[in-house]
Amino acid sequence: MKIALFSTFSLPYPSPYKNQTLLPPLQIAGALGEGLYKKGHKIIMFLSKDSRPRAPHQSFNLPSLYFLEKRGKFYDEKTAIYYDHLALAKIYLLAQQKKIDLIHLHPRHLSRPFYFAPLVKVPTVITIHDNLYLDRKKEFSNDFLNTPHCFYISISYAQRRGQHNLKFFANVYNGVDTQIFKFREKPRGNYAVAIGRIDPVKGIHLAIKIARQGNLPLKIIGPLYLNIPHIKKYWQKEVKPYLGKKIQYLGVLPPQRISPLLQNALCLLFPITWEEPFGLVMVEAMACGTPVIAFNRGSVPEIIEDGRTGFIVENKKEMVSAIKKIKLINRFLCRKRVEKMFSQEKMVENYEKVYQRILRKRK
């Protein structure tokens, strides 16, 4: 098969820039493309010209929007939409010319593929990365929903519980690179980690309170968007005043720097306040052998095996108590669960099965 893969032109894959964070849809699409290519499939990845993947790709000679931003050039959401629509138009033109057998999209915005997918009969696989608990009705056009050659993939079964009309074809869990996130049996540090964008839904403020109550140093990693008013207010009120020697904000770090911090941590704190569709950082932590303590929201019960790879709790008090017994968790079991269910190799294998089912269905 000739498979086209696309997520967004907003960021390059992989990142050639220091401290750039990848959007999960792009991260997964890129890893999937490279994995499929390694297994002998014919892959065309549609990426910005500053991308450097290990699989064939087309760029239309357009830089990522991140590239423009780094050079002080202003762009707005209309530019992002234009970039993505240009890529999608090219992909579906190639499909119409029968140069592509299957299209797999990991859209940053759900509405982006709607204009093109119904126009050709080539199967389109669409992995939904968004939180479907939100009101997304405006993004789901009836024409698109009723297109028989569109196949929707969820990234957790919890994600499917949103108020929407999507009929999912399969569920495929995201996978992490276990060569980057390496296992360590015994941590060398005595601290917790919280990873995620600085946002109330990620519960960074709660992680700070819980770490302080548990008398445990905390390292915070994640992007901070001070240009968004409510995020700036949240940072100034709920996060910044508590930073110091014990509570540290390390900013955005590449995976190669996050991995050793996880390897040497006692645990990852994940006190989310929304219905998380997946939560890649939980898997990254467990790959390093680091147990996770998380609130019982969204996909958490599918990823964490309570009492074996971490603890699933209901509130702050229970999370503080869980910290005290975190050393009871066998870190080897954390790693084995990732290898069995959440590695990139497993993800590629599962998507291969999806493609095969679609082809059989099309025949």
Closest among 208, 199, 202 to 234, alpha carbons compared: 199
Amino acid 356: pLDDT: 93
Q: What are 86's two structure tokens?
A: 């240009």
User: Which pLDDT belongs to residue 113?
Assistant: 60
**What pLDDT does 45 receive?**
94
Q: Is the pLDDT of residue 141 over 70?
A: no
pLDDT tens per residue, range 285-325: 999 999 999 999 999 999 999 999 999 999 999 999 999 99
Query: Could you give the residue ranges of the DSSP H alpha helices within the chain?
Result: 24-38, 65-70, 77-96, 142-145, 204-213, 229-234, 255-263, 280-287, 300-303, 316-324, 331-341, 344-362
Residues whose CB falls within 8 Å of the CB of residue 159, separated by 6 or more in sequence, listed in order: 128, 131, 132, 275, 277, 278, 298, 299
Backbone angles phi, psi at 270, to 5 degrees: -135, 65
Which amino acid is it at 167? Answer: K
Q: What is the CA radius of gyration of the chain?
A: 21
More confident residue, 172 or 16: 172
Architecture of domain 192-341: 3-Layer(aba) Sandwich (3.40)
* Residue 118 pLDDT grade (very low, low, confident, very high; cuts 50, 70, 90): confident
Confidence of residue 222 (pLDDT cuts 50, 70, 90): very high
pLDDT of residue 238: 98
Nearest to 126 by CA among 148, 149, 151, 95: 151
What is the pLDDT averaged over residues 46-66? 88
DSSP 236: I
Residue 119 has pLDDT above 80, yes or no: no
Length of the chain: 363
- Residue 90, token pair as written in the block: 């090219």
Quick one: which H or E segment has residue 154? Answer: strand 150-154
**DSSP 8-state class, residue 42:** E
Mean local confidence (pLDDT), 155-160? 93
Task: Please state, in angstroms and rounded to a whole number, the distance separating the CA atoms of residues 37 and 251.
Answer: 33
Residue 22 confidence class, pLDDT cut points 50, 70, 90:
confident
* CB neighbourhood size of 18 (10 A): 8
First to last CA, the chain: 14
Q: Is 2-175+343-362 in CATH node 3.40.50.150? A: no
Rounded CA-CA distance 6/60 in Å is: 13
pLDDT score of 78:
79
Average pLDDT over residues 14-34: 85
Q: What is the dihedral of CA 154, 156, 285, 183, to 10 degrees?
A: -80
Place of tokens 């905390």: 218
Q: Which H or E element spans position 54? A: none
Handedness of CA 47, 52, 56, 62 (dihedral sign): positive
- Claim: this prediction has a pTM higher than 0.85: yes
Q: What is the pLDDT of residue 68?
A: 79
- Are the beta carbons of 23 and 108 closer than 8 angstroms? yes
Spatial CA neighbour of 46 closest among 97, 103, 101, 98: 103
Q: Evaluate whether 2-175+343-362 and 192-341 have a shared fold.
A: yes
292-295, strands of its sheet edge to edge: 247-249, 218-221, 192-195, 267-270, 292-295, 310-313
pLDDT for residue 81: 80
**Is pLDDT of 163 > 60?**
no
Number of helices followed by number of strands (H, E) in the chain: 12, 13
Split at pLDDT 50, 70, 90, the class of 239 is: very high
**Cα–Cα dist 5/113, whole Å:** 13
Give mean pLDDT, residues 261-273.
98
- Region 263-291: mean pLDDT is 97
Tell me how far apart the alpha carbons of residues 307 and 104 are, in angstroms, rounded to a whole number: 37
State residue 66's pLDDT score: 80
Q: At 328, which amino acid appears?
A: L
Q: Which pLDDT belongs to residue 138?
A: 53
Mean pLDDT of the chain: 90
Domain boundaries, the chain: 2-175+343-362, 192-341
Q: Please tell me whether the peptide bond between 118 and the residue prior to it is cis, using omega within 30 degrees of 0.
A: no
DSSP secondary structure, 257-300, as one string: HHHHHHHT-SEEEE--SS--S--HHHHHHHHTT--EEEES-TTH
